[in-house]
């Protein structure tokens, strides 16, 4: 028996050293320790051993079993480590190769600017109103204090459909529609397409404007300035300043042109601001009393301000696009640059 056990011991010792995979090791283990393995057979063979020898023999066999299990476990651990190390050796990826991911589309730069402006103002309590693009002369001009043959009509070359209907030349038409249907307090932003018969690097026959309107008790020119200061800081940088200077629009009095300190040079003067340090960005003013009257709002009780800006112009300034026509070519290489 002792001899048999010694033979098994040496066979296992030799066999284990020759195994290279965990599968080979498992097969070897089964050969000795499996249900029908050699050591298990010895245990079963105990029945034939005389009773008085059984304890001593049993101990011998169980010692061998314990020894063998420890040997297999050790080898198992060794092979596991070896296999993992081999995998590490063989499974290296080129981490610089391209990824797979679902791309997302983009907003048109004009929409992006529109969104950013709306985000500036919605928190201040401005609602969004979109009026019709094909408008009546009344809303686009007359109600805005621009009667027929007023010289201010020359400021904008209007597209006409009929004598009465036209393509709105300004989102200001939305002011009237809002004020006709809503009584103060009014805080409205009105974005949309507008149309003027003009086409070159800085003019497009169709472009977008954003109109702002506030009507309430005690609204002042200082309020206009305060709101626009906030707008400028949010849309550009926290250092951006605004400057008001006198201008003329028939629907506001006083009227102002609003300049922003140049975001590029910070006001020192550069190519973008043509050396002035300022960039003209929008027109604004206190709502003309006649306009309020036209909408049935008592100008002695309420005052208000309005402002209007061109979204393409702001997009061009903000993103450094030098020709407005690029915005309407819709080349995917341009579009893809304007993420949400």
Partner 1 sequence: MKVPFSWLKDYVDTDISAQELKDKLFSCGFEVEELKYVGEEIDRCVVGRIEQIEKHPDADKLRICKLNCGEYGEDIQIVTGADNVFEGALVPVALDGSSLHGGIRIKKGKLRGVESCGMLCSGEELGINDDWYDGADVNGILILQGDIPLGTDIKKVVGLDDYIFDIAVTANRPDCQSIYGIAREVAAVLKKPLKPVELTYEVSPFSTSERVTVCVEAPDLCPRYIAHYVRRLKIEKSPLWMRRRLALSGLRAINNVVDITNFVLLELGQPMHAFDLSRIARNEICVRRAHEGEKIVTLDEKEFELSENNLVICDGVKPVALAGVMGGLNSGIEDDTSEVLFESAKFERANIRRTSRALGQKSDSSARFEKGVDAYTTGIAINRALNLIEFLGCGEIACDRFDIEEKAVQPTVINTSYSAINALLGIEVPKEEIKGILSRLNFNVTAKGDKITVTAPAYREDIEGYPDLAEEVIRMYGYDHIKGTFMPTAKVTGGGYSAEQRKEERVKRIIRGQDYNEIITYSFISPKDYALLRLDGEAEKAIRIKNPIGEDMSIMRTTLAPSMLNTLVRNLRRGNDRARLFEFASVYLADSLPLSDMPREEKTISFGVYGEGEDFFSAKGVYEAIAAEFGCAFAYEPVQKPFLHPGKSAKVLIGGEEVGYFGELAPDLAEELAVETPVYLGEFDYAKAEKMLGGEIKYKPLPKFPEIRRDLAFVVDESAVCAELEKAIFDASKYVTAVKLFDVYRSEQIGKGKKSMAFNVTFTPHENAFKPEDADGYVKRILKALGEKFGAVLR
Which residue in the set 37, 250, 267, 277 belongs to the binding site for partner 1 (CB under 8 A)?
A: 250
Q: The tokens of 332 are what? A: 């995917």
The yes or no reply on residue 126 touching partner 1 (CB under 8 A) is yes
Tokens 């040997």 belong to: 71
The yes or no reply on residue 229 touching partner 1 (CB under 8 A) is yes
Which residue in the set 173, 209, 255, 261 belongs to the binding site for partner 1 (CB under 8 A)?
A: 255
Which residue in the set 33, 216, 319, 321 belongs to the binding site for partner 1 (CB under 8 A)?
A: 216
Closest CB to partner 1 among 59 and 325?
325
The yes or no reply on residue 138 touching partner 1 (CB under 8 A) is no
Cis link prior to 181 (omega < 30° from 0)?
no
Any residues with CB less than 8 A from the CB of 287 and at least 6 apart, and which?
175, 213, 215, 251, 252, 303, 304, 305, 306
Closest CB to partner 1 among 42 and 228?
228
The yes or no reply on residue 16 touching partner 1 (CB under 8 A) is no
Closest CB to partner 1 among 93 and 332?
332
The yes or no reply on residue 248 touching partner 1 (CB under 8 A) is yes
For residue 243, CA distances in Å to 111, 214, 222 come to: 26, 20, 12
Any residues with CB less than 8 A from the CB of 34 and at least 6 apart, and which?
40
Q: Exposure of 280 by Cβ count < 10 A (0-12 exposed, 13-18 middle, 19+ buried)? A: middle
Half-sphere exposure of 114 (CA within 13 A, CB side): 21
Q: Is the dihedral of CA 279, 285, 291, 297 positive or negative?
A: positive
28-57 footprint of partner 1 as x/- string (CB under 8 A): ------------------------------
Q: Which stretch binds partner 1 (CB under 8 A): 7-15, 17-25, 41-49, 328-336?
A: 328-336
Least Å distance between CB 53 and partner 1? 54
Least Å distance between CB 340 and partner 1? 7
């Amino acid at each position: 028996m002792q001899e048999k056990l010694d033979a098994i011991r040496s066979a296992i010792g030799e066999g284990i050293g020759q195994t290279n995979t965990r599968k080979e090791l498992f097969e070897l283990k089964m050969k000795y320790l499996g249900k029908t393995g050699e050591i298990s057979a010895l245990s079963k063979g105990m029945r034939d051993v005389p009773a008085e020898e059984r304890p001593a023999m049993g101990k011998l066999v169980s010692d061998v079993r314990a020894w063998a299990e420890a040997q297999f476990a050790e080898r198992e651990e060794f092979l596991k480590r070896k296999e993992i190390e081999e995998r590490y050796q063989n499974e290296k990826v080129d981490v610089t190769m391209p990824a797979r991911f679902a791309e997302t589309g983009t907003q048109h730069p004009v929409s992006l600017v529109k969104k950013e402006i709306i985000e500036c103002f919605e928190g201040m309590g401005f609602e969004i109103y979109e009026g019709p693009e094909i408008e009546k002369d009344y809303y686009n001009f007359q109600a805005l204090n621009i009667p027929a043959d007023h010289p201010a009509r020359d400021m904008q070359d209007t597209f006409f459909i009929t004598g009465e209907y036209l393509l709105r030349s300004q989102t200001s038409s939305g002011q009237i529609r809002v004020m006709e249907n809503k009584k103060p307090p009014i805080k409205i932003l009105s974005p949309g397409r507008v149309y003027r018969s003009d086409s070159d690097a800085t003019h497009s026959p169709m472009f977008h404007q954003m109109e702002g309107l506030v009507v309430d008790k005690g609204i002042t020119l200082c309020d206009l300035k305060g709101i626009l200061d906030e707008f400028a800081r949010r849309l550009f940088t926290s250092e951006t300043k605004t400057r008001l200077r006198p201008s003329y629009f028939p629907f506001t009095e006083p009227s102002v042109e609003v300049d922003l300190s140049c975001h590029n040079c910070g006001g020192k003067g550069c190519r973008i601001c043509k050396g002035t340090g300022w960039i003209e960005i929008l027109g604004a003013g206190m709502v003309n009393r006649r306009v309020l009257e036209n909408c049935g709002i008592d100008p002695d009780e309420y005052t208000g301000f309005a402002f209007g800006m061109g979204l393409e112009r702001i997009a061009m300034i903000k993103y450094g696009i030098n020709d407005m026509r690029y915005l309407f070519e819709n080349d995917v290489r341009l579009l893809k640059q304007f993420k949400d």
